[in-house]
A and B are shown apart, each in its own frame.
Chain A
Amino acid sequence: MTLSLIIFLPLLGALLPPLFIRLGRTACAWSAALLAGTALAILLYHSPAVFAGETLVFTQPWLPALGLNFSLRLDGLGLLFALLILGIGLLIILYARYYLSEHDPMGRFYGMLLLFMAAMLGIVLSENLLLLLVFWELTSLSSFLLIGYWKHRSDARQGARMALAITGGGGLAMLAGILLLGHITGSYELSVVLASAELIQAHALYPVTLALILLGAFTKSAQFPFHFWLPHAMAAPTPVSAYLHSATMVKAGVFLLARLFPALSGTELWFFLVAGTGTATLLLGAYHALFKHDLKGLLAYSTVSHLGLITLLFGIGTPLAAVAGVFHIINHATFKASLFMAAGIIDHETGTRDMRRLGGLWRFMPHTATLAMVAAASMAGVPLFNGFLSKEMFFAETLHAGWMGEWSWLLPLLATLAALFSVAYSVRFIHDVFFGTGPRDITRKPHEPPRYMKVPVEVLVALCLLVGILPAWTVAPLLAAAAASTVGAELPYYSLAIWHGFNLPLLMSLIALAGGVILYLLRFRLFALHDRIFPLCDAKAWFECGLARTIAVSHQLTAWLENGSLQRYAMLLVASVLIVIGTSLWGTTLTGPVAMGTVDGVTLTGALVLGVSALATVIWHRRRLAALVLLSVVGLVVSVAFVRFSAPDLALTQLSVEMVTILLLMLALYFLPQHSPAESSTARRWRDGLLAAGAGLSVAALAWGVLTRPLETISGYFLEQSKPGGGGSNVVNVILVDFRGFDTLGEITVLAIAAFGIYALLQGLRLPSPTTDGEGRPWAEDRHPLILSAVSRPLLPLALMVSLYILLRGHNLPGGGFIAGLVTAVALILQYVASGVVWTRERLPFDYIKLTASGVLVATLTGVASWWFAHPFLTSTFEYVQLPLLGKFELASAMVFDVGVYLTVVGSTLLILANLGKLTLVSQPHEETK
């Protein structure tokens, strides 16, 4: 249980810094540090068990049907990464307190940093692969926010977008890979997957699975050819770069390689894919790092190169190589984080990161220079520093890589070459910045940074030295625990020592050191050569160009599909329905075995009225008011038909909705042009007519087919359960407020949202209003005819009584909150029509918005109330009570829910109609031009 706290503390803590910023910047940093520190303490509390070889697992079912469980796992590998994430995270929090300027919103920074931290912890502590993926995507999103922190800068936005596109795209591939992995092994739990190596590797889908998962890992870890996002992510503030690119974000990819190492590694395919990509990245990164003039650019490419090195080690696939890979993850995190922070200090104190302008800073900041030199020496792999140890192991492993056959000399050669470049750029980082001539064109005089800005660098540099000099006393237990859980078996013997005697790896190191220094001395000639060869390779331009092309194509596609014409959408929709129905009905017998009933004269008459008025509506659609009258006839006959076929509830609803719709249409018609020209060509009218006739015939055929067949419906169940289960004999209403109450709650919420949306859209709208009617006659003078007002007013109490009656009896007889609400709304609208807005508002001082909201609230609270009695949300109950005079009657909690429905319907209907009606108060009279 406390395992999940390690993730949830930073996650919840993401909310604290934005609040604490009001107490000042230091309090804000403390709030962030406190949560990360607590999480670290919990982690340390669990660590003895892990060092003893245990794997702690915590499982909480989440969506077990999908195989998604909230299950966490703390083993050696997870512990190592969690320590790096939290430890370096704490140092970054301290560093950022002094790095960020007064203008930067600090609360937001720490909030996003903690969010990112939680997501990273989630990745390394997940036992369930789907859960891991959820956190994986969360790191993509939160790193997007962090990289784009300086949102006013376009390079930051572009870099953030690029990182999101690449890592998010890789995440999608990984999702597919993980689903395949789950398909092969039958489980998403790591314990199962890691134990099924033989099953996975023998499966026909292994190559696809491997490729997809590697795509995810390689994009995240900036492996060639996806490496280009990382240098552009350097537009982030330096604390972010130091965190994302040393210990966390980019390490997620290599973490995944290590995590799935027992399950996926050891095949030829794994070797060539992983080791091949790793080698390419190692060389490419090391080469480019030397030619970057920007300090952070150099570090970025160096990170790419070192990630390639780690990938290569995992790709070699032997247990010893995996140990070396894990060891280099630790070492790289320590020296690279300190180097980034040193680069940030230099930028902070001089105002530039361009090495061509820097130089001679030793005189101004000897302390920082010493720290940077130690870290850089570690990066170069100089003996006595931690980078040397893992690099030696790396050289030794390249000598023993399998699968290469007679080409086995190639890997050590390439490794030495990359190390040579690595020495050269490390020397450049130190010499170009702290020694030589300069600084040039610096506006301020550089000096040492604030005391506490150096503390994080000092801590990390001390670690570099301690691990480098006394490996067996410091890092050995952690490395052993992490490597053991990576390999998943007994660890082979290895020795962590500085001196292994004169051997080939040492020779390779010496060649790299000497060659690197020579390369650095030749740098100016190399720069010139590089500028001539590589001017065209701008990955960012390619990416932006590709992005722009993709967006343009999708715009075109969207414009082609979605051209804004309702007629066209309807045409496409009806045509596809026709095709689907036509193809599936083709060749089947339509008529079923059930005999036809008899038709009586009244029903036939009704059908005739319905058909004629529907056709006439279509034919006269340009004579708007006449069409509206015919539409009313259609609505009326449909309601009567519902009654005829025993659905009085539907009839009541249909009638009320019909009336509200007609009112709405008339309100809208007033503002529309009074004459509508014929816009469709004859051919088009024929086409539409044929389509409509076809669709009508298809639906008729379907109805015919259904009605002539014996039908098993679910209504029997509801009819039986209505009274015992819901306490009401009106099945329709019991379904609405009880059995499917949750649906209804959702629907009234949508209704309320729609009403608020219409209200918001109508705010400040000014429409021209016509001065004459359709035939050019002026409007009548009398706004509110006396007879109309006199007749309408007594109708209101009568209508309210009817609606109350319909509301109360709804549970047992036709009616309910929805119908009652519409009846009330229509009765009130009648007062608007008869007596005007001003008169009605004076007597009806409700706020319709509050009325609507209170309806939704009442319905929701009814649902919540059932929690009080330890029942699931919206469980209803009913009781029969005996009252004097009234006799025995039933009280159901669903009735309160129905009152909520009633209030929402009244509120939202009035909100829409009354506000549409009010439009004319502000509109300008306007002469329509013919």
Chain B
Amino acid sequence: MLALAIPIAFALMSLALLLNLWRVVRGPDLPDRILALDTLYINSIALLVLFGIHLDTMIYFEVALLIAMMGFVGTVAVAKYLLRGDIIE
């Protein structure tokens, strides 16, 4: 079952990455791009976890964890920049 599910999931995640890229490049506005970046973070997490399941290892888990955290901070910071310009005030 897993042998079938994993390739399909990989294909879907790759497609998602490409669509994210499309949105980042096309925009049209900055909030669109920021949202696309945030989704890209989430898709990467999914991809990494999937990779871990595929290779049956836990070693990629921390990277996924860190992307989750860093992605959040990054999105917050850019959003704050849009609002106020000054991210630390």
> Do A and B make up one complex?
yes
A residues adjacent to B (C-beta < 8 A): 600-602, 605-606, 608-609, 612-613, 616, 625-626, 628-630, 632-633, 636, 639-640, 643-644, 648, 651-652, 655-656, 658-659, 662-663, 666-667, 669-670, 769-770, 773, 779-780, 782-783, 785, 788, 792, 795, 799, 802, 806, 813-815, 823, 826-827, 829-830, 832-834, 836-837, 913-914, 916-918, 920-921
Picked from A639, A658, A669, A918, the residue with its CB within 8 Å of the CB of B63 is: A639
A residues less than 8 Å from B65 (CB atoms): 802
Please report the C-alpha to C-alpha distance between residue A836 and residue B30 in the assembled complex, in whole angstroms: 24
Instruction: Decide if A670 touches B41 in the complex (CB within 8 Å).
Output: no
B residues less than 8 Å from A792 (CB atoms): 76
Please report the C-alpha to C-alpha distance between residue A612 and residue B24 in the assembled complex, in whole angstroms: 10
Instruction: Decide if B89 touches A836 in the complex (CB within 8 Å).
Output: yes
A residues less than 8 Å from B34 (CB atoms): 629
Instruction: Decide if B33 touches A666 in the complex (CB within 8 Å).
Output: no
Instruction: Decide if B21 touches A833 in the complex (CB within 8 Å).
Output: no
The answer to whether residues A833 and B77 also contact, given A609-B21, A823-B66 and a CB cut-off of 8 A, is yes
Interface residues in B39-71 (C-beta closer than 8 Å to A): 40-41, 44, 47-48, 51, 59-60, 62-63, 65-67, 69-71
Please report the C-alpha to C-alpha distance between residue A362 and residue B19 in the assembled complex, in whole angstroms: 106
The answer to whether residues A666 and B44 also contact, given A629-B33, A648-B63 and a CB cut-off of 8 A, is no
Instruction: Decide if A829 touches B88 in the complex (CB within 8 Å).
Output: yes
- Residues 6-40 of chain B, each 1 if its beta carbon lies under 8 Å from chain A, else 0: 00001101100110110011010010011001001
Can you name the residue of chain A whose Cβ is closest to the Cβ of B60?
A: A643
Instruction: Decide if B67 touches A602 in the complex (CB within 8 Å).
Output: no
Most-contacted residue by chain A among B20, B30, B70, B82 (CB, 10 A): B70
Please report the C-alpha to C-alpha distance between residue A914 and residue B87 in the assembled complex, in whole angstroms: 11
The answer to whether residues A769 and B86 also contact, given A606-B17, A644-B51 and a CB cut-off of 8 A, is yes
Most-contacted residue by chain A among B40, B71, B86 (CB, 10 A): B86
Instruction: Decide if A655 touches B87 in the complex (CB within 8 Å).
Output: no
Picked from A601, A632, A662, A667, the residue with its CB within 8 Å of the CB of B10 is: A601
The answer to whether residues A788 and B24 also contact, given A667-B88, A830-B73 and a CB cut-off of 8 A, is no
Instruction: Decide if A779 touches B89 in the complex (CB within 8 Å).
Output: no
The answer to the question of B1 belonging to the interface, with a C-beta cut-off of 8 Å to chain A, is no
The answer to the question of B4 belonging to the interface, with a C-beta cut-off of 8 Å to chain A, is no
Q: Would you list 10 pairs from A and B whose C-beta atoms are within 8 A, ordered by A residue?
A: A605-B17, A625-B78, A626-B30, A633-B24, A643-B51, A655-B66, A663-B73, A795-B72, A826-B70, A826-B73
The answer to whether residues A605 and B18 also contact, given A656-B66, A830-B73 and a CB cut-off of 8 A, is yes
**New contact pairs (12) apart from A629-B37, A643-B51, A655-B63, CB-CB < 8 Å:** A601-B10, A605-B14, A625-B81, A625-B82, A651-B63, A667-B87, A769-B86, A780-B84, A814-B63, A833-B87, A920-B86, A921-B89
Instruction: Decide if B77 touches A662 in the complex (CB within 8 Å).
Output: yes
Can you name the residue of chain B whose Cβ is closest to the Cβ of A770?
A: B85
Please report the C-alpha to C-alpha distance between residue A651 and residue B64 in the assembled complex, in whole angstroms: 10
Q: Report the minimal beta-carbon distance from B9 to chain A, rounded to whole angstroms.
A: 10
Picked from B66, B76, B88, the residue with its CB within 8 Å of the CB of A913 is: B88
Instruction: Decide if A656 touches B89 in the complex (CB within 8 Å).
Output: no
The answer to whether residues A830 and B76 also contact, given A605-B17, A636-B41 and a CB cut-off of 8 A, is yes
The answer to the question of B83 belonging to the interface, with a C-beta cut-off of 8 Å to chain A, is yes
Instruction: Decide if A636 touches B21 in the complex (CB within 8 Å).
Output: no
Can you name the residue of chain A whose Cβ is closest to the Cβ of B83?
A: A780
On chain B, the number of residues with a Cβ less than 8 Å from chain A's Cβ atoms is: 47
Instruction: Decide if A815 touches B88 in the complex (CB within 8 Å).
Output: no
Please report the C-alpha to C-alpha distance between residue A656 and residue B85 in the assembled complex, in whole angstroms: 23
A residues less than 8 Å from B87 (CB atoms): 663, 666-667, 670, 833, 917
Picked from B24, B51, B80, the residue with its CB within 8 Å of the CB of A630 is: B24
A residues less than 8 Å from B83 (CB atoms): 779-780, 782, 785
The answer to whether residues A837 and B88 also contact, given A613-B24, A643-B48, A648-B63 and a CB cut-off of 8 A, is yes
Instruction: Decide if B59 touches A648 in the complex (CB within 8 Å).
Output: yes
Q: Report the minimal beta-carbon distance from B5 to chain A, rounded to whole angstroms.
A: 15
Please report the C-alpha to C-alpha distance between residue A265 and residue B86 in the assembled complex, in whole angstroms: 77
A residues less than 8 Å from B59 (CB atoms): 648, 813-814
Q: Report the minimal beta-carbon distance from B89 to chain A, rounded to whole angstroms.
A: 5
Instruction: Decide if A633 touches B37 in the complex (CB within 8 Å).
Output: yes
5 interchain residue pairs of minimum CB distance = A917-B88, A605-B14, A780-B83, A659-B70, A832-B88
Please report the C-alpha to C-alpha distance between residue A50 and residue B68 in the assembled complex, in whole angstroms: 79
Q: Report the minimal beta-carbon distance from A13 to chain B, rounded to whole angstroms.
A: 54
Picked from B11, B80, B89, the residue with its CB within 8 Å of the CB of A920 is: B89
B residues less than 8 Å from A616 (CB atoms): 24-25
B residues less than 8 Å from A613 (CB atoms): 21, 24-25
Q: Report the minimal beta-carbon distance from A748 to chain B, rounded to whole angstroms.
A: 21
Most-contacted residue by chain A among B11, B17, B51 (CB, 10 A): B17
Q: Report the minimal beta-carbon distance from A650 to chain B, rounded to whole angstroms.
A: 10
Instruction: Decide if B62 touches A636 in the complex (CB within 8 Å).
Output: no
A residues less than 8 Å from B72 (CB atoms): 795
Instruction: Decide if B18 touches A608 in the complex (CB within 8 Å).
Output: yes
A residues less than 8 Å from B78 (CB atoms): 625, 628-629, 666
Q: Report the minimal beta-carbon distance from A732 to chain B, rounded to whole angstroms.
A: 13
Instruction: Decide if B74 touches A659 in the complex (CB within 8 Å).
Output: yes
Q: Report the minimal beta-carbon distance from B26 to chain A, rounded to whole angstroms.
A: 10
Instruction: Decide if A601 touches B69 in the complex (CB within 8 Å).
Output: no
